[in-house]
Amino acid sequence: MVRIYVFDHQEAYRYGITKLPELEASVEIVERCDCYETHGQIMHLNGGRYHAVIRLFEITPEEYVITYEDTREPFDVEELLYIVVELDNEEKGRITLKSGETAYVITKEEVEKLLKYYEETADYTVYYVGV
């Protein structure tokens, strides 16, 4: 069974969570950025390539962790969250996010529905990065 736990920046250093390996996403879904065309300027901290990123981390063939990250807001390192991923009570690694962003455990069936939806949506691009 996959479980996730959230720690803030100070807790992560206090408990040694930052020493856990950073997990790599197997799929990234990015929302295309049109801010330059719409507003005449880049409005993101990533150079204007995308608005948001949904990342899928395969923990088991049947369970994934999904994260949603927004690139529109500036942030301070103190606002980082560290998501510890456990499988059968054993730490597998961590995922680092900005505060206010989300992470959930989802099933393979939910992943398949999600990918089908985003593959058919023109404003998004799906990258299979760790497959």
| Total residues found in the chain within this entry | 131
Q: Give the residue from 45, 54, 44 showing the smallest Cα distance to 124.
A: 54
**45 HSE (CA, 13 A, CB side):** 11
Domain boundaries, the chain: 2-127
Give the per-residue pLDDT at 100.
Answer: 73
pLDDT of residue 5 exceeding 90, the answer is: yes
Q: Tokens for 58? A: 């395969």
Tell me: the pLDDT tens digits for 41-80?
Answer: 766 655 556 678 899 999 999 999 999 987 666 566 667 8
Give the per-residue pLDDT at 41.
Answer: 72
**DSSP assignment letter at 47:** S
Give the per-residue pLDDT at 76.
Answer: 64
Q: Label residue 117 by pLDDT band (50, 70, 90).
A: very high
